[in-house]
Amino acid sequence: MAIVLRRHVDFLSSLLLLFTLFAFPTSNAMSAEEVSKFCKETPDDVEFCMRYIGRNREIVTARDFNDVFIIAVKQAKLQAADGIKKINKVRKNYNGPIGKKRIQVCEEKYKLASTSFQKAWDAAYKKSFTERLEMTTGSQGGFEALRQCEDEWAKNGPRQKSPLTLYYNNVYKLWAIMRSTISKLSR
């Protein structure tokens, strides 16, 4: 049932994308070459940028780097949400006081990151120069919260591998993309 529903949602999303392309011409949209060039300029991982930004369905309607920022911050918010789901799945594996504390800290930090990314996303939609500070602080705050979670796995006891490193690494790369877009907007 879930697979059938997902296929219908994917089909409807594709139809909506096609409708958007025909109903709202993308003559003002960024070209594929511009997006590819931007991804090649990102400091960390070109393939990652192309996967999360360049091949994102929303990129076809992106008109400028503000819209690219919106896509990146949305992806970071999704990573934080996925991290919270992971926390709920692995919580039972950390029964001791140190493990429980680490999971609790990470849960708080991932919720904080999600809120920070939402604030940055809201600011980006306003598209005013004064909102760039909120875009910067929101994206920075979200990343810093996840970094604090990662750091928690090395404090107050034996060092452990964080079960959330994948999400942290993805957000780190998305944060680099966000910083690059803000830099381009400031020029």
**pLDDT computed for residue 139 by the predictor:** 84
Residue 22 resides in a domain: no
pLDDT range class, residue 79, cuts 50, 70, 90: very high
Higher per-residue pLDDT: 156 or 72:
72
Could you give the number of structural domains in the chain?
Answer: 1
Residue 16 resides in a domain: no
Query: Any alpha helices (H) in 24-153, and if so which ranges?
Result: 32-41, 46-49, 65-90, 97-126, 132-152
CA dihedral 52→56→60→64, nearest 10 degrees, is -30
* Residue 132 belongs to domain with CATH number: 1.20.140.40
Angle, CA of 107, 70 and 62, to the nearest 5°:
150
Residue 100 resides in a domain: yes
Residue 2 resides in a domain: no
